Amino acid sequence: MVRELRLVVTAEDYDEALRFYRDVLGLEERESYSSPDGRVTTLEAGRATLELADPNQAEFIDRVEVGSRVAGHVRVAFEVEDSEAATRRLAEAGAQVIAGPTRTPWNSLNARLRAPAGLQLSLFQGLHWTRTLPCGRRSSLRPTTRRSGASSRSTGCGSAAPASSRARRWRTASGRCTG
């Protein structure tokens, strides 16, 4: 069972990369080690996922966010609270804006930047809307993309869980209110 996804990036300008990702983007420092052999810092980036895309989907994402295919084999995406403010802050700190915040078909506001350590970043802000769950409760949901073949029929709530918990369960159940 995998317990953590850790993206390891070799940065030619270690100090600049650390300043940018820790001090400007705001990733919290978990641990840092230094020896005559080198330096390493692990930064907390919230919840991690591994998103696999085929070449057609990767090209589609680039067309939506930037207008043409620009990403390489790896692109790092950070969910931020305000993609416009984060884009400005990172640009002021030296990132090159490839494309400013753009509303996507999956209802998020995404920006694309070239950042220190040779990384291409997507900053995304999920745009929320209010939806009536199948059980009749109103909840603020974040948009998701349904997997092919996912059912959209309702199953009812049946739980006194807090609204945020219900929304999360609804979201992860591909359109079903499970609890």
Domain 14-126 has what CATH class? alpha beta
Q: What are phi and psi of 30, to 5 degrees?
A: -90, -45
Q: Is residue 125 exposed (0-12), middle (13-18) or buried (19+ Cβ within 10 Å)? A: buried
- Of the candidates 175, 97, 94, the one whose C-alpha atom is nearest the C-alpha of residue 133 is 175
Has this prediction a pTM greater than 0.85? no
What are the boundaries of each domain within the chain? 14-126, 129-172
Tens-place pLDDT, residues 31-87: 999 999 999 999 999 988 888 899 999 999 999 999 999 988 889 999 999 999 999
Q: Is residue 159 exposed (0-12), middle (13-18) or buried (19+ Cβ within 10 Å)? A: middle
